[in-house]
Amino acid sequence: MIRPWSRRVFLSALALGARAGDRNLVIPSEARRFRDPATEFDLLRLTDPSHGAAVLPRAPLRAISSKGNFLLYSSDRSGSMQIYRMDVKSGESRQWTEADALDPHSVSLSADERTVFYVDGDSLISSGKKTRTEYTVENGWQSAGGFSLADDGSMAALIERRSGRNRLRIIRLPQGPASSIFEAPEPAQYVRFRPRHSQLVYNSSGSLTLVSPDGRGSRRVQTAAGMAGDALWSADGRALYYLCAPEGKKQIQLREHVPETGEDVLIGATTQFVSFARNADSTVFAGVSGSKAAPYVLLLVRSVHRELTLAEHKASAASNAVVVFSPNSQKLYINSDREGKLAIYAMALERFVEKTDLSALASRGQDQAESYGHVLKSHAKRLS
């Protein structure tokens, strides 16, 4: 007697039998719950590392929809690295692209969430109803990562290199001209477009530079003494949050800098953060610790300047781990190769962080939003 296939088995068979580059590829949910051995907090593993690596874009690239109902990630499970769209509720994923040489760290949703931008080889591609090439690196140069996309989708940035030279290119979208605003032997580590302002900041050799997209008004940001690391703008672009390694000290600080006033204040000392993410109103920050003795993901609470350990990341290198907040601050996504290959994990934050009121943020602005309710509940209060 032949037994009828269940829906799950049928979808699994389709996924296994699909050829690489098949945009109809559907991956059934691979979700599995377990407890983190270090904190005993619950984690939900969303992708199975035995089926291939899954790479989550790093902030400020947009991986999660504004309603939090789907997320983008890249995976090589089909035989080549491609972008997938995961339905957060069902856990099912669908292949989005048919890229030839996808850079999985260059993936971002557009502001209207109908298009995804990514770097394929030496070309910047947009894929929505149609797939088109927005920009191709000039002969003799090659893409060196560092992709960034302006919040309004009007510009993109890409770092390029050629025989000992590095340059930062600003690309006008759609399919507009490109220009260089930085070129030197030392590379730019990243570029961050400033929300609601015609400016951007980039990091080269531990120094931050603020400049207009046309290259005018370039000036060094007067940060605290030490090497600047990862940086993110506030949602309204008023303040720049950055990691700083002070001179002569074995610590990493998270600091806030306001370009218009020059004010630069300490948010808190961290457990050796190498990268971080902020929630929508910048009241809490999640960080990836680079400490070998404490390979953790931690929540830094702004109001009390203290950390809460959430889970182990146990990544082979801390730089491989990524943390991203859901738009409403109720979930943290963690990307780590703690099980051998990169996989995506999710952790509920309802016990620690109040839900972010996005409509209040839009109407009141960032300054009021930062005083909007103290996001910590009873657990965070115990930290103080």
Return the CATH number at 334.
2.130.10.10
What pLDDT does 359 receive? 64
For residue 290, give the nearest of 230, 349, 347, 204 by alpha carbon. 230
Q: Per this entry, what is the length of the chain?
A: 384
What is the dihedral sign for C-alpha 126, 131, 134, 137?
A: positive
Query: 13 in a domain, yes or no?
Result: no
Residue type, 194: R
Mean pLDDT for the stretch of residues 31-51: 97
Q: Are 109 and 130 in contact (CB under 8 A)?
A: no
pLDDT digits (tens, 9 = 90+) for 158-192: 999 999 999 999 999 999 999 999 999 999 999 99
What pLDDT does 250 receive? 82
pLDDT digits (tens, 9 = 90+) for 65-94: 999 999 999 999 999 999 999 999 999 999
The count of domains in the chain is 1
What pLDDT does 363 receive? 54
Cα–Cα distance, 71 to 35 (Å, whole number): 23
Query: 289 in a domain, yes or no?
Result: yes
For residue 191, give the nearest of 174, 177, 211 by alpha carbon. 211
What pLDDT does 357 receive? 79
Query: 3 in a domain, yes or no?
Result: no
Q: Are 286 and 274 in contact (CB under 8 A)?
A: no
Distance between first and last Cα of the chain = 65
DSSP 323-343: EEE-TTSSEEEEEE-TTSS-E
User: What pTM value is reported for the model?
Assistant: 0.88
Query: 330 in a domain, yes or no?
Result: yes
Domain extent, residue 75, equals 21-381
Query: 348 in a domain, yes or no?
Result: yes
What pLDDT does 2 receive? 32
What pLDDT does 247 receive? 87
CB proximity list for 37: less than 8 A, separation 6 or greater: 312
Query: 29 in a domain, yes or no?
Result: yes
Residue 368 scores a pLDDT above 90 = no
Residue 16 scores a pLDDT above 80 = no
Cα–Cα distance, 331 to 294 (Å, whole number): 22
